[in-house]
Structure 1
Amino acid sequence: MQPRRLTAVFDSWGFERHSSRTSPTLVELYRRRDNPHVRTLAVRLGILLFLATPLLAISASLVVSWNNPAFAWDGVAFGVALGVAFGVAFGVAFGVAFGVAFGVAGGVAGGVAGGVAGGVAGGVALGVAYGVAFGVAFGVAGGVAGGVAGGVAGGVAGGVTVGVAGGVTVGVAFGVCCLIVYLRVPIYALEALWTWLLTTLCETGQLSWRRAALRLPFHYHDVIWFPLPRLRPFLVAAGKENVALGNSLIAEAADTLGQKGPAQKALVELQAWSLERAAQFRWWARVAELDLDFLRIVETPTLMRSFRDAARDLYAAERSRSHHHKNAALERARTTLQRVQSAIVGEPHPEYLERHLLSVARTWLAVVAEEQASLAISMRERPQVPTPFVAGEVLRASNRELFKGRRDLTRIIDHDLTGDRRAPFLLLGQRRMGKSSLLNMLPEHLGTGTQVVTLNFQGLSGETHLQTPHLWLEQEVAAACGQAPSPPGRTAWGETLKWLEQVDAHLQQQERRLLIAIDEVERLQDEVERGRTSTDFLDLVRAMGDRLGRVRVLLVSAHPLARLGPHWVDRLISVVQRELGYLKPDEARELMCQPIDGFPDIYPPGGVERIAEQTRCHPYLVQLVCDKLTFSLNANERLQATDEDIELALDDALPNAEAALFNALWAQQTVDEKTWLARLARAPVPVARPDRVLKGLIRHGFVEQRAGDMHVAVPMFGTWIRDRKPEDEPPRAEAKDVVEAKTTPLA
């Protein structure tokens, strides 16, 4: 039984550990003499102490007594008896493991020492001391309960080697003792041969991997300093044959001294094998969850995460019925795998894992190529309308093709950043108008001379710095400007302002600018009303406009400042307001007809105009209706839409528009505003002199004048308002200044 496992067995039997011993005493074992395992253990220890000790002592004495007529055999008997006696005594006092180890080592050493004299005895003493020191100290005291092999080998080999050496210098003898006692080279040679033999027998089919695994040397011997030859291929083959067995063997081998390296390499090979099998059988979902054999027992390295990302895209492609989405997912997977391949090839000295993952990447790329070829055939045989429209998601650089228009606004922002202008900006726009998408596109439009840092206050409630949002700003700016001075990290926003002045001076030297964009800044007011933060952040924004030249602030909101509260108007009185409104008709047409290169002409005559009219060129609604239309065409396996398809897409889009847009737009209106919108939704109203409420609705794009009448600007929104339940509508009230006769348009 392996010493470390012997200690574990003692623990499982409930024997209490002490600082002075790691095994039970003979008395404790005697109390459990009815246990068959205890009896078996006692028999083994007894054989080792009472039988093996005399045999080892006699064998060693035969070697030492060669050509030594003065050898005293009676001294051997006395030494063995004395060692065994001390072993029993120590077994009672300090535990059976220590007692047996000391008894065997002392018996053999004492027996040999009793039979010789002079230098030889001194050599034996030296050898015994060395053997016992390393065998017992590294065994018993180190928790390897017993260390019997080390003690025996030390006593015998050390005594014989140094004794026979005689006149040889102590240094040479000491070195030989090191090889034999500490490194255990003779034992290792036998274990290496045995491992090689087991692997060969298994490979030739003469022995099963499971049976051979029980006979591996590291099961019985912890202190194997060197890797066992052919252990790695044994572990790999056993793992392929039986996953549970492979995992168990790798874990056990990795827990021993010299077999950790082979175990780690075997695990790498099995991981690569699992990934290749996953590609062969298309187990993308399992790879995405790291639910493959041999991938669950280790931390996930960076390259392995890349395979997980590729598997997610491949799984998405497998489940998608859209040719466009399937092709996009396959292309993302191919790009990810090519990056892995390039990263490994670019390494001058790739690690063992990287070398094997390179082969896996090639296998996966071949599978992706097969899937793309199969998709190309499907696209020719069963063509579909591409479905590139993204409704509701923030556009990023990866889908910049869908970002249409806004060029005039980006030019204005770029213009406002130049010169000596310092006041903060306010970008005002309705919900889902594309404000966040615009922020993502600003770096490309503004160029490298302007660094854009974006904070989204939508997640302010979950931020660590909820009460001190200026510290959040510090962190983001410091991360973006790597060469800037270190931020102070203090609760007073005045310290942040002083630090930003240093950043401003740094940017001045580099002739660069910094734009800090704060998306959904109105969420700050929500937290102020909850009492979880204050308006001090607005003081910082105002002070930044007064004292900084190269650092500018862009606030993004769906609400005008007056609606957020008087403190917003007071703190930001000098703000430069820019509005993000509906797309222009030609921009909306481009979005519908050319969302991506090669998009087919799917609309009936007048269909584009119908969608533009009903959505009022609202970017979210345009994408939503077009997405519904393309989905319907593909579901019915048609490539050309009819007028009925357009109307059906408009109707199908209403539930999504309600959840994602209309409810929020309606909730932000006052009672008077809701009254006006409900009235206009029922029928256009001619107005001679609009009141304050109606003027506000016109200013913010909810109401428009057409042919002298007031209309809800977005007909889809008007339809939704008109179809609302009666209990959801505001109380009916006659709007002021409504006249029946047609009036002149508003100036």
Structure 2
Amino acid sequence: MPQNSFIASLKLLHWLLFMPSAWQRYIAQLDEQLSPAFALAHLDNQHWKNKQLWHLLWIGHGILSFWALAIVCVVLAWQNVDSERYLLALSYIPLLSLVLGFLSSLTISVAFGICVGFFGGIALGLPVIYADEIIFKMVDTVAVIQVLLNTTSEQPSLILPANHFALFSVLAGVFIASAAGSVMYTTLRTAYQHPPYRQIGSIVIGVIVSSVIAFLVISLVSPMTRYISTLSSTAFTLILDSAINSTGLAIGLICLLQGAKWRFSLILGILASILISLLTYLDYTLEQYSVSNAIIENIHAGVENAMLYSVLFAFPYVLAKNIANTWAGVIAGIVGSAGTYAVFAVSTGQYESEILAGSVILAFFAGSTLNWWRPVVLYPFVSAWNLMLYHTDEKRENSQTSLLTYHSAFWDEHQHWPLFGLENYLVLVAERNPDEGKQAIDYLSKTNQSWAAQEAQIELDALRLQACDSVQSISHAYRQLAAGELSGPASALLRTFSRLSRDVEAALSQESNYNKRLALDAIEERLDGLLRELTRSSELYAQRFRPIAEVWRQKLADYAKELTAVVESRQEINNPYIIGVPLTEHQEIFVGRSDVSANIEQLLLERRCPPLLLYGQRRTGKTSLLNNLGKLLPSTIIPLFVDLQGPASLAKEYSSFLYNIGRAMTTSAKRHRELILPPLDRKLLNEDPFTIFDEWLDEIEHTITPEQTILLTLDEFSTLEHTFDKGYLDENSVLGMIRHIIQHRPRFKLLLSGSHTIDEFERWASYLINVRTVHISFLQANEALQLIEQPVKGFELQYTDEASQRVMQVTHCHPALIQLVCAEIVSLKNKQHVEERRLAKVEDVEAAVPGALQHGRFFFADISNNQITGESLALLQLIADQGEAKVLEETWLQEQLPDIKDFDACIANLLQRELIVRLGTGYRFQVELIRRWFIRD
């Protein structure tokens, strides 16, 4: 809030009309518990001690009343009116604006009071000024009766007859009340929304309350209008002024209904009545003094009319609000006050009911729809303003602060029409000042102009991708993309580039030039496919991103040539081994597992094939096998691979969980069998996740041919336990769905994969009935030998028979450990002289072991930290310390470790983890390389 009170008052008005969220934040600073539409009657003693509240009232009523007067005086100066009208303006408008605003803030809401006080002071004051007299006072306003008692006098040519000013005043009152009510409700509506049925019910309640009040007032006032002609002007005035006192008490009653304390309400009502009575007395007492009487009369009229306008809206508003909600109160207040004006105006006979009713309805509709038509009317002007700002910023220096904050998108929250050119403006600012651009995009992404924020973000991402001038910069590009934050066709494209960037980073992290080139070749192939899709596509963003894909493909191709040249110049041995990540179907190094795949195929041929569990210790090649099932199984079996360690297990709701599973299934079908599955609608999933997913499975069954079978593979299924324990998903619902697929979809076969047996998840056994375990462990000897000596075609390193056997001994044909040791051997051989480089000997194997232990430390640490207990660790260390292939008797082990409480359970755990093997009555390490990790220093 600005320090200057005059500027702060205009800022306050701007918030209410254009930025209700700023008003909400300001009120939250006063008190977080206060509603944005709070009334002064709601406040307690502690609130009144807040200096910020008094400052709000001062600028919202005192300063804005001054502004209302100033605007009227400017209009009068422009019209060159006489000094008497200036005197009328100075004495009537400030009191009308101040009292009307304050009473409305007291009985209705502060937001309503500020608007109605400022605009009411102008719109209700000008007719009085131009008519050169007080057209009517309080109760006179309701009936428009005073017009009948006035004698028509000659008016200047500029001035219309008085009854027309009275009609204009009525319509202005209806419009101002409707507009202020709409503004007040807007401050709430941006905070929360009522469902449609509740809004309709609120409108009905509001109209009913207003109709009842109007009927009661008509019943009381109509008999009086029959005898008006028999009364003198003085008698009539005395009757009306007496009725005014009861209006003061009505203000107190409204405050009581709003929740104010009864003492406060009673005192306020009495003071209001006394004030009116005092002004009435002074009005008649000073009648002989022309100037003083004119001032007092104007003040009197201003206070009376302010009370009238506020009471007519406040009473039905409070009743309907207490019955239903704020929206009902707004409707009741508008309909009630407008209806009261209209009914009594018609009863005077001065206006035809059809014309008056139509005028009042039009004023009501115009005011209540202010935030609908105002943006349309202002659109050409703000568009010109925004364009001027953009062109001005284009010519400014980069170091200067931009003018973007003056763009209407940042000061008009009600503008629903797209502000064309805003996206280009955001890009301009973001390129010059990334922090400022990011803040602007983040802000606009939550407004009606979110489309511009998205378009700007897409263009900025495209520019970042376009700026990648090397393979290294391509590998880092994903870190700055907003692919996951966007929606629409561009989001899919950006996700594709993000994945490509990540894959390039993974490729560059490979230690061998051979694997780098192999991975980059696969990425280049995917870029070729992307280019073909973009060429054929008619999507909006296809042409924007196609040149980027071409540049990326060329950069990768050039880099791959450089790698080839380096390898050839140095005569290096290509290192095809891949450490730490599963092998895909594109990687030639995958060998063996024919026995496991044959077992799976045989089980799938059974008509009522039970769910299968691919069980094996970590890093034994489970995921690599699943990735390659498309090559190992017949074409009639469609493997759909889902990695539950990915997005699926991170989902916190069923729709996201099922959508991620469906997306993985779709990708796998396309990759393994070139099969296009039906799309899974995410919006429908949000409505009824399991039903929609089940219907999608029906569509899949209709898509495949009768002889085809779907193999749904869920890798690392045990990660679901974490999701269940966190309470993100319900165990019964998810496992119940899986059981339903097993029992009722014979064309769907289920293959789970993990390093835990079903016995370790006893509570899951009832869902996964009759699970058949397929064990995957070490490679067969011939498979291990192939992985050592011929991992890929044309492998240039040869092994002596003793060296090959030594690799198999230290790894026990463990696939991950073979790759770990052999990768280290290739790395060491490439450092040797060319004449020694092509032949690996036993001493080379032994030299590679320390490096293999170091590079594989995460694998070995996982065993000691996550797979075994503390007692098991002590037992492993004891066995490891005794030397290679040393068989240790069980009795000796028990004697050495008497503190182990359950020796049999400890041994059983190590056997299940395939860390030790039983030989007769003793035990030894199964894998020599693992034994060396556990040797104590």
TM-score (norm 2): 0.51
Structure 2: segments with no counterpart, 5+ residues = 1-9, 106-112, 133-158, 190-354, 652-660, 662-689, 702-730, 889-910
2:429 match = 238
Give the secondary structure class of the aligned counterpart of 1:191.
helix
The reply to whether residue 90 of structure 1 matches residue 100 of structure 2 is yes
1:143 match = 187
Matches within 5 A, 1:171-186: 182-183=373-374
Instruction: Name the CA distance, whole Å, in 1 between partners of 2:84 and 2:622.
Output: 101
1:105 match = 123
Q: Say which of 513, 537, 543 aligns to 1:323.
A: 513
Give the secondary structure class of the aligned counterpart of 1:517.
strand
Cα gap change, 1:346 to 1:414, in 2 (>3 Å): same
The reply to whether residue 649 of structure 1 matches residue 848 of structure 2 is yes
- Conserved in 2, the CA contact under 8 Å of 1:458 and 1:519? no
Cα gap change, 1:680 to 1:330, in 2 (>3 Å): closer
Q: Say which of 571, 576, 589 aligns to 1:388.
A: 576
Cα gap change, 1:232 to 1:721, in 2 (>3 Å): closer
Matches within 5 A, 1:155-234: 182-183=373-374, 187-205=378-396, 210=401, 212-213=403-404, 215-218=406-409, 223-224=414-415, 226-228=417-419, 230-234=421-425
The reply to whether residue 265 of structure 1 matches residue 455 of structure 2 is yes
**How far is the alpha carbon of 1:323 from its aligned partner?**
1.1
Matched to 1:54, the amino acid is C
Instruction: Name the CA distance, whole Å, in 2 between partners of 1:723 and 1:429.
Output: 21
**How far is the alpha carbon of 1:713 from its aligned partner?**
13
Q: Say which of 757, 764, 767 aligns to 1:523.
A: 757
The reply to whether residue 379 of structure 1 matches residue 567 of structure 2 is yes
Matches within 5 A, 1:24-43: 32=51
Considering fraction of residues, name the structure with more helix: 2
- Conserved in 1, the CA contact under 8 Å of 2:504 and 2:520? yes
Q: How many equivalent residue pairs?
A: 607
- Conserved in 1, the CA contact under 8 Å of 2:615 and 2:774? yes
- Conserved in 2, the CA contact under 8 Å of 1:288 and 1:309? yes
- Conserved in 2, the CA contact under 8 Å of 1:313 and 1:332? no
Matches within 5 A, 1:353-368: 356-358=544-546, 360-368=548-556
Q: Say which of 583, 587, 611 aligns to 2:780.
A: 583
**How far is the alpha carbon of 1:240 from its aligned partner?**
1.5
Matched to 1:323, the amino acid is N
Instruction: Name the CA distance, whole Å, in 1 between partners of 2:441 and 2:798.
Output: 59
**How far is the alpha carbon of 1:241 from its aligned partner?**
1.5
Give the secondary structure class of the aligned counterpart of 1:183.
helix
Instruction: Name the CA distance, whole Å, in 1 between partners of 2:42 and 2:614.
Output: 78
- Conserved in 1, the CA contact under 8 Å of 2:441 and 2:457? yes
Give CA deviations for 1:225-257 in whole Å, capped at 9, x if unaligned: 655564443332222211232234445556665
Instruction: Name the CA distance, whole Å, in 2 between partners of 1:205 and 1:197.
Output: 13
Instruction: Name the CA distance, whole Å, in 1 between partners of 2:371 and 2:610.
Output: 82
Q: Say which of 40, 53, 66 aligns to 2:72.
A: 53
- Conserved in 2, the CA contact under 8 Å of 1:239 and 1:246? yes
Matched to 1:238, the amino acid is V
1:561 match = none
Identity of aligned residues (%): 19
**How far is the alpha carbon of 1:52 from its aligned partner?**
0.9
Give the secondary structure class of the aligned counterpart of 2:30.
coil
Instruction: Name the CA distance, whole Å, in 1 between partners of 2:377 and 2:87.
Output: 28
Cα gap change, 1:311 to 1:121, in 2 (>3 Å): same
2:592 match = 405
Matches within 5 A, 1:230-309: 230-251=421-442, 259-277=449-467, 282-283=472-473, 287-290=477-480, 301-309=491-499
Structure 1: segments with no counterpart, 5+ residues = 63-70, 146-165, 465-471, 508-513, 542-552, 559-579, 685-696, 728-747
**How far is the alpha carbon of 1:99 from its aligned partner?**
1.5
* Deviating more after overlay: 450-459 vs 593-602: 450-459
- Conserved in 1, the CA contact under 8 Å of 2:583 and 2:624? yes
* Deviating more after overlay: 133-142 vs 177-186: 177-186
Give CA deviations for 1:6-37 in whole Å, capped at 9, x if unaligned: 73674376276563559999x99999599999
1:14 match = 30
Instruction: Name the CA distance, whole Å, in 2 between partners of 1:497 and 1:33.
Output: 63
- Conserved in 1, the CA contact under 8 Å of 2:513 and 2:563? yes
The reply to whether residue 628 of structure 1 matches residue 870 of structure 2 is no
The reply to whether residue 556 of structure 1 matches residue 781 of structure 2 is no
The reply to whether residue 117 of structure 1 matches residue 161 of structure 2 is yes
Instruction: Name the CA distance, whole Å, in 2 between partners of 1:350 and 1:483.
Output: 30
Instruction: Name the CA distance, whole Å, in 2 between partners of 1:56 and 1:715.
Output: 100
Give CA deviations for 1:611-630 in whole Å, capped at 9, x if unaligned: 45665655444333312211
1:640 match = 838
Give the secondary structure class of the aligned counterpart of 2:573.
coil
Cα gap change, 1:220 to 1:386, in 2 (>3 Å): same
Give the secondary structure class of the aligned counterpart of 2:125.
helix
**How far is the alpha carbon of 1:701 from its aligned partner?**
14
* Deviating more after overlay: 235-244 vs 81-90: 81-90
Matched to 2:773, the amino acid is L
Cα gap change, 1:524 to 1:434, in 2 (>3 Å): same
Cα gap change, 1:53 to 1:415, in 2 (>3 Å): same
- Conserved in 2, the CA contact under 8 Å of 1:602 and 1:640? yes
- Conserved in 2, the CA contact under 8 Å of 1:330 and 1:368? yes
Cα gap change, 1:236 to 1:194, in 2 (>3 Å): same
The reply to whether residue 350 of structure 1 matches residue 540 of structure 2 is yes
2:792 match = 596
Pairwise CA RMSD: 6.2
Give CA deviations for 1:539-592 in whole Å, capped at 9, x if unaligned: x31xxxxxxxxxxx641247xxxxxxxxxxxxxxxxxxxxx764243x444323
- Conserved in 2, the CA contact under 8 Å of 1:7 and 1:22? no
The reply to whether residue 312 of structure 1 matches residue 331 of structure 2 is no
Instruction: Name the CA distance, whole Å, in 2 between partners of 1:330 and 1:264.
Output: 31
Matched to 2:848, the amino acid is A
Cα gap change, 1:119 to 1:636, in 2 (>3 Å): farther
Matched to 1:592, the amino acid is I
Give CA deviations for 1:593-622 in whole Å, capped at 9, x if unaligned: 332234324445764455456656554443
The reply to whether residue 447 of structure 1 matches residue 631 of structure 2 is no
- Conserved in 2, the CA contact under 8 Å of 1:76 and 1:110? no
TM-score (norm 1): 0.61
Instruction: Name the CA distance, whole Å, in 1 between partners of 2:442 and 2:411.
Output: 15
